[in-house]
Chain A
Amino acid sequence: MAETVVPVTHEPTPEETHLRHHFATPEQQMDAATLGMWTFLITEVLFFGGMFAGYAVYRGMYPDAFASTSRYMNLVLGGTNTAVLICSSLTMALSVRAAQLSKRRDLILFLILTMIFGTIFLVIKGFEYHDKWVEQLVPGFNFRYDEAIQYAHNAQILFFLYFAMTGMHALHMVVGLGLLTFLLVQANRRVFHANYFAPVEMIGLYWHFVDIVWIFLFPLLYLIGQNR
């Protein structure tokens, strides 16, 4: 943390702000990037929305079968992952802050922490998937539901949705880790500073979005029927 903030004493040059030829001002460029990212996130909401709609429909049709699946969900691992992701959101927000303040070493530190949290999440998710395979809960490939045989059909719908939704979420996490690697390389090359931090902020928005998806997935998939 020895680095000090370099006060901006001059008008930033186009090179410093990475101003591209078709924008008039850095503010216009930043506004465009922000609106573009939010628009993209809206498409992501609708992308996941299709699966959430499917979940809502089938939960309404087969509430008991859905509730019966909760005993196979590992609350400890799921809860840990929720906590891990919330921590990663914090470190991501701190990365953006560090970039805005031109604190390069902080930026690198927080980016690495975010990547570590993201990786922990994926590793834990991998263990959960492995458990599901061992317990024969993978629809289409390896599925038995002997303890509640009356739900054997409908419970497959939930497990199909479980793998589709968490799988799609995990895929977004992997993409996010790739983007963070890109940021790390750029940060190491001293690209980001108070006059140019748009990529950190945009990828940060993406990362928070992916976290929020999990915040919805966790109660719907893990906590359903826990009170029975």
Chain B
Amino acid sequence: MATIAHETPRTATPVNYLNVEHGWKSWLFTTDHKRIAVLYLVSITIMFAVGGFAAVLFRINLLTPEGLFSPEMYNRLFSLHGIIMVFFFLVPSIPATLANFLIPIMVGAKDLAFPRINLLSWYLYVIGALFAMYCVFRGGVDTGWTFYAPYSSTYSNSYVVPAVAGVFVAGFSSILTGLNFIVTVHKMRAPGMTWSRLPLFVWSNYATGLIQVLGTPVLAISLTLIALERVAHVGIFDPNIGGDPILFQHLFWFYSHPAVYIMILPGMGVISEIVSCFSRKRVFGYNFVAFSSMAIAVLSFVVWGHHMFVTGQSVYTSVAFSILSFMVAVPSAIKVFNWTATMYKGSVSFDTPMLYAFGFIGLFTIGGLTGLFLACLALDVPVHGTYFIVAHFHYVMVGGMVMAYMGGLHFWWPKMTGRMYPQVWSQISAAIIFVGFNLTFFPQFILGYLGMPRRYHAYPPEFQMLNVLSTAGSSILAVGYVIPLIYFLWSLKNGPIAGKNPWGAAGLEWQIQSPPTTYNFDDTPVVNEEAYNYGPVEEVVG
């Protein structure tokens, strides 16, 4: 922290990607990966606010046992929250913003392999988001984010087709992002940037790219078939003509379980970077951490059946899926152990990004371990479809991914904008988010264990205490997310100039100016050292 320069800025700001051009055309027609990352950052922040607002509304509904809204309204609110948060926030969150910004720089390239396709992916995202917003303003959708047939295909009276169209289009934006990362990592690495010198953030986003490319098209065709079935009033998931609704669940989860790893792998990459930097040590067991990302990507495609233990799947199939699901715990645990080992005897500091990393490791561990409860066939039967599930995946998705996203944003914000944010405020808000998160979701573990089913607008009075706690937590969480929004915007003009490398971090991105120039590097860099070469730096910085 001592290295942050506190000069007064403004005069003679060097040319960078932000001030090189001005006007709306320079943004909407840009092919610079860094500007596209900023476009994505703004868009997903808006969608996060919409999804979060829906969550606050239905948490208010759950303050009283009988509920405040009508059941129809409640169904639309939680469906909206799920669809927006999964497809329009979590899936693009780290890949489309931080990774879009950083991967070319980290591998020593001037841009992603296909800059125009990168821009196209943002436009597809926006079109998908507009479809989703159109659906909301027409009256919303009430199927939940899972769109299960035959409810979605036949019986729902809500606007399923626009919602499905939005997810379909946004899915292609995700595919194109993944495709761009895969090709960039394979073909655009600078001389000397071997696979074993790649930052772990790149590895985890490469693994994410594989899932995006292989999984998302299956979701696209499944949703297309649902939409066709709604138009034709008959289709392959329609039990009236012998169709099998469970086939839809298979197709849906073939994408959506791997998608869960789209929503956590990039976060794991961020944590590897942060833990290494703020422990001033190279990541313990680099190869294991890198390959555990790949192992998670591969295993993610063979565990989807654990969503269907109670929906009419053969018990032998369930046994196989149960064993495979347990296996995912191995690479996940390798990462947690290796981060812990990285901190061991490191020179650990408590800057804001590291606070988020601490939050991630603890909350992800709880989320992951409760996942093992759910992978266990006998235990899954009573807790399936209860708040236990809701708490479990929020510990992974929010306690994991959103924590990592916030941590990454705080880590690379000085690189992206050239400015620092207020340290004290950011540390306070990290603490508020941690408290608010746990108060919101820990009671839900208990609620689920006691048997409260998810997706109901009302509940028996004995559950009120825990629900009130959860709602109180969600408002604290909301405050925790608003504070960073304020100080990040404030820092754009008023933050202290960050300089090249405010954290004394290793990695190519910290060797270029902040914010970077349009082509990142004046000359193509030549890499001759491993990632996380913190050994010699330690004495100088410490």
Is there contact, CB below 8 Å, between A156 and B244?
no
Task: Collect the chain B residues with CB atoms within 8 Å of residue A22's CB.
Answer: 104, 109-113, 115, 188, 519
> Given A22-B109, A139-B234, A160-B234, A47 and B221 touching (CB < 8 A)?
yes
B537 touches A (CB below 8 Å): no
Q: Does B183 contact A (CB under 8 A)?
A: yes
| Residue in A21, A31, A42, A54 whose beta carbon sits within 8 Å of that of B214 in the complex | A42
Give CA–CA (A22, B107) in the complex, Å: 13
Q: Please report which residues of chain B, range 214-233, place their CB below 8 angstroms from some CB of chain A when the two chains form the complex.
A: 214-218, 220-222, 224-225, 228, 231-233
Residues of chain A lying within 8 A (CB to CB) of residue B233: 140
Q: Is the CB of A49 within 8 A of B109?
A: no
Q: Which of B139-147, B156-164, B235-243, B493-501 contacts A (4 or more CB under 8 A)?
A: B235-243
Interface status of B133 (Cβ within 8 A of chain A): no
Tell me how far the C-beta of B210 lies from the nearest C-beta in chain A, rounded to whole angstroms.
9
Residues of A within 8 A of B183 (CB): 32, 35-36, 39
Is B508 part of the binding interface, using a Cβ–Cβ cutoff of 8 Å?
no
A57 to B113, CA, bound (A): 39
Contact, CB under 8 Å: A32 / B188:
yes
A119-138 to B contact mask, C-beta < 8 Å, 1/0? 00000000000000000000
Tell me if A36 and B221 are in contact (CB < 8 A): no
A164 within 8 A of B: yes
A80 in the interface, Cβ–Cβ < 8 Å? Answer: no
Q: Give the CA-CA distance A30 to B516 in the complex, in Å.
A: 27
| CB–CB B114/A36 < 8 A | yes
* Set of chain B residues within 8 Å of A58, measured between Cβ atoms: 236, 242-244
The yes or no answer to A7 lying at the interface (CB within 8 A) is no
B521 to chain A, nearest CB (A): 11
User: Does B213 have its Cβ within 8 Å of any Cβ on chain A?
Assistant: yes
Render B172-215 as a binary contact track against A, CB cut-off 8 A, 1 for contact. 00010001101100111000000000000000000000000111
A36 adjacent to B240 (CB under 8 Å) = no
Instruction: Name the interface size band of chain B.
Output: 35 or more
Which residues from A are CB-within-8-Å of B218?
Answer: 46-47, 49-50
A50 to B, closest residue via Cβ: B221
Inter-subunit contact B213/A42 (CB<8 Å) = yes
Query: CA separation between A36 and B115, bound complex, in Å?
Result: 12
Q: Are B236 and A161 in contact (CB under 8 A)?
A: yes
B100 nearest CB across to chain A (Å): 14
Flag if A35 contacts B242 (CB, 8 Å): no
Q: Would you call A44 an interface residue if the criterion is a C-beta within 8 Å of the partner chain's C-beta atoms?
A: yes
In the complex, chain A residues 24-60 whose Cβ is within 8 Å of any chain B Cβ: 24, 28, 31-32, 35-36, 39-40, 42-44, 46-51, 53-54, 57-58
Say yes or no for A190: interface residue by CB 8 A criterion: no
Residues of chain B contacted by A65 (CB below 8 angstroms): 242
Interface SS majority for chain A: helix
B251 interface residue (CB < 8 Å to A): yes
Does residue B15 face the partner (Cβ distance < 8 Å to A)?
Answer: no
A24 to B191, CA, bound (A): 11
Does A70 sit within 8 A of B, measured CB to CB? no
Are B244 and A35 in contact, CB atoms less than 8 angstroms apart?
Answer: no
Q: Mark A49-89, 1 if CB is under 8 A from B, else 0.
A: 11101100110011001000000000000000000000000
- Chain B residue with minimal CB distance to A55? B236
The reply to whether B247 and A54 form a contact with Cβ atoms under 8 Å apart is yes
> Which B residues between 445 and 502 are near A, CB-CB below 8 angstroms?
none
- Which one of B179, B220, B519 has the highest number of Cβ atoms from chain A below 10 Å of its Cβ? B179
The answer to whether B232 and A48 have CB atoms under 8 Å apart is no
| Contact assessment for B247 and A57 in the assembled complex, using a CB-CB cutoff below 8 Å | yes
- The answer, among A32, A48, A141, A157, for a CB contact under 8 Å with B187, is A32
B317 located at the interface, meaning its Cβ lies under 8 Å from any Cβ of chain A in the complex: no
Query: Which A residues are CB-close (under 8 A) to B235?
Result: 139-140, 160
| Chain A residue, CB-CB nearest to B112 | A22
> B217, A47: Cβ atoms under 8 Å?
yes
Q: Is A36 a contact of B179 with CB atoms below 8 Å?
A: yes
When distances are taken between beta carbons in the complex, the residues of chain B under 8 Å from A195 are none
Q: Mark B501-530, 1 if CB is under 8 A from A, else 0.
A: 000000000000000000100001000000
Shortest Cβ distance from residue B36 to the other chain A in the assembled complex, whole angstroms: 13
- The docked-state distance in angstroms from the alpha carbon of A46 to that of B243 is 21
With A21-B110, A39-B183, A140-B235 as known contacts, state yes or no: A156 contacts B213, CB within 8 Å: no
Which residue of the partner chain B has the closest CB to A157? B236
Query: What chain B residues lie within 8 Å of A54 (beta carbons)?
Result: 225, 236, 247, 251
Choose one: B112, B216, B236, B519; the contact of A43 (CB below 8 Å).
Answer: B216
Looking at the complex, which one of B213, B222, B224, B225 makes contact with A39 (CB distance below 8 Å)? B213
Interchain CB contact under 8 A, B242 and A61: yes
**Separation of A62 and B251 alpha carbons in the complex (Å):** 20
Report B-chain residues with C-beta under 8 Å of the C-beta of A20: 115
CA distance A164 to B104 in the complex (A): 39
Measured CB to CB, the nearest residue on chain B to A49 is B218
What would 19 more interface pairs be, CB under 8 Å, given A65-B242, A141-B232?
Answer: A22-B111, A22-B113, A22-B519, A36-B117, A40-B179, A43-B214, A44-B217, A46-B215, A46-B218, A47-B217, A47-B221, A49-B218, A50-B222, A54-B251, A139-B241, A157-B236, A160-B234, A164-B224, A164-B236
- CB-defined A-B contacts under 8 Å, sample of 9: A21-B110, A24-B524, A32-B187, A54-B225, A57-B247, A62-B242, A65-B242, A140-B234, A157-B241
Which 3 A-B pairs give the minimum distances between C-beta atoms? Answer: A140-B232, A50-B221, A47-B217
- Residues of A at the B interface (CB closer than 8 Å) are 20-22, 24, 28, 31-32, 35-36, 39-40, 42-44, 46-51, 53-54, 57-58, 61-62, 65, 139-141, 143, 153-154, 156-157, 160-161, 164, 168
